Structure 1
Amino acid sequence: METFERIEDIEIRLLLEALYHRYHYDFRNYAMSSIRRRLRQAREQLGFATISALQESALHDPDMLPKLLRYLTVQVSEMFRDPGYFRAIREKVVPHLRTYPSLKIWIAGCSSGEELYSFVILFREEGLEERTIFYATDINPEALAQAEAGVYGLDRIRLFTENHRHAGGKTSLSDHYRSGYDRCVFDRSLRRNVVFSDHSLVTDQVFGEMQFVSCRNVMIYFDRILQDRAIGLFSEALPRNGFLGLGAKETLRFSSHADAFREFAREEKIYRRTGA
C-alpha cells in the first residue's frame, strides 16, 4: 500500500507539471492532501485506471481540461455564506466605504458567483452599487460562465434566503430573481457593474487598486508558499485603510505580509491595510 501511494504521488506531481507546461494552470503548490483527494475522484469518475492515464488524456485531448478543472477547482459556495461576515460588512465596513466617491471590489476565486451576487445585492441595499465596480475572478472558465449566467437551482434558494435574512438583508431576496422550471435566474441588472475575468492567484499579478478584496475559502487549498503569494497580491492591491476579507478557517498569522494588516472585525476575519 505504501508503494502504491508513493507511485501515485509521483504520478500526481507529473500531472501537475504537465498541466502547467501544457495549459499554464499551476496547481503545483496546492495542498497535496486536497489535490490527491480531488484527482482520485477525477480518475474514478472519468474512467481512468491510473493518474498517468488521466495525464495522457489531459495532454493530448484539450476537451479533457475543463472536465479536470471541475475537480481541481473549488466550486462549493452559497449566497451570503457565513451571514455574520456580510452583516459585519454591512454594519462595520460600509460606513467607511461611503466616504469614497467610487469603489472597486475584488471577489477573488468567485467560483460560480454566489458570493459576487451577495456583495452586489448588499451594496444595492446600502445605496453603493452605482458607484462600485465589482471584479469577479476565477481560474475556471466554466465557473466564470456560470457566474455570469446567474442561474441556480430552485432547491438552493431557501438556504440563500435564510442567509440573506441573517446577514441583515433590507429587501426580499425574491426581489432580485425570477424562478421557473426548478431554477432561479438572478436579475441581469445585478451584473451591469461587474467585470468577469480569468485570473490566477498562483501566476497572475495585481490588475488595479481595490477598496475591498474578498477571498474566502480559497487559500485553505494552498500550501504556505502559495498562501503567502496570494496575501502579497492583496496587500499590493489595497491602499492604506483598504479592507481584506478571508474565510473562517483562514488567517494572516503565518504570512510574511501580516504586518501590512491589522484586525478590523476579528471574528469575521476582516482585516484593514495599514501604512506598513
Structure 2
Amino acid sequence: MAERTGSNTNRKKNRDPPVLDETQTEIRQMIREVVSRKSPKRVQDDDEGSGGYIDLKSNVELKMKPFLVDFDGGGGGGGGDGGGGGGSGGGVGVSGSSWGSMNSAASAGKPVNTTSDSMTNPMSPDKAATRSSPSRSSGVMDWDYEEDLLNRQALATQREMEKLKKKRNELRYAKKLEEMKREFQSDLALIKEKAERELHTRVTSLRSEKEARLRKVENFKSELKERIDALCRCYEEVSVRGVEVGREFKQVETKIIDEARGIVEQEKVKMETELRENMTELAGQLGVRGV
C-alpha cells in the first residue's frame, strides 16, 4: 500500500499540469465548495492547474453526488434502493446500492470505492464498464483515476452542452427564419396593400379623366350639332333667298326687256315717220310726184 501511495505521489509530481476548460474549472470549484461546507479539511488551491488533489474521505456521497447527476439541470440520478437513472442533460446516475456502500464505508472510516459501473463515462458505457478501478484492487482511493473519471464526465457533459447549444442555435435559426418569414409576409402584405391603393387611386383618376374627356366630347358634339343646324338653317334661308332673288331678277329682266322693246318700237315708228317725211320733202324738191 505504501508503495502504491508513493507511486501515486510520484506520478502527481512528474505529470504536467492539466489544462482546464470552463466546465472542469466549474466542477472543481463545486467540489471545493462542497468540501469546504461538509469537511473539516480544506481543498488545496488548484485554480492554476497545479495538480493538487481533494480529500473526500469524510463524506463521499455528499462530495461526489453533485457531479454524478445532471450538470445542466435536465435529469438527475436516482438514489435509494430503486437505483439511479442518467439525466437527459448529460448527468450520470448512481445506483442506490453503490451509494449505500459508499455511505457505510465513509461512516466506518474505510477507503471508499467510488468507481462503480454507473459512474463511468456516459458517452462510452461499454468501455468504461470493462475498465476496472485501481481502488477495487488496492482498497486505496486512486485520485488520478477519479480525476480522469471526472474529466471524462466533464468532456461528456461538454459534448452534451455543445449538442444542446447546437440544438439551441438550430431552434434560434428556425425561430429567426419564422420571424423573417412573418416579417416578409407582413412586408409583402403592406406592399400589396400599398400597390392596391395606388392602383385604385390611379384607376379612379383615369376614370375621372375619361369621364371628363367624354363630357368634353359630348359638349363638343352638342356644339357641333348646333352649329350644323345653324348652317343648315342658313343654307335653307340662302336657298330661299336665292330663289326669291332669281324670281325677282327674272321679273326685273322681263320688265327691262319689255321696256326696251317698247322704246325700240317707239324709236322705229318715229324713225320711219321721220324717214317718210324726209322722202316726201325730198321728192317735192325734186319735182317727183307720186312718192
**TM-score class, shorter:** under 0.3
- Please report the TM-score for the alignment, with normalisation by the length of structure 2: 0.20
Question: Which structure has more helix as a fraction of its residues?
Answer: 2
- Please report the TM-score for the alignment, with normalisation by the length of structure 1: 0.20
Question: Which structure has more strand as a fraction of its residues?
Answer: 1
Kindly indicate whether structure 1 or structure 2 has the higher relative contact order, using CA contacts under 8 Å at least 6 residues apart: 1
**Highest CA radius of gyration, 1 or 2?**
2
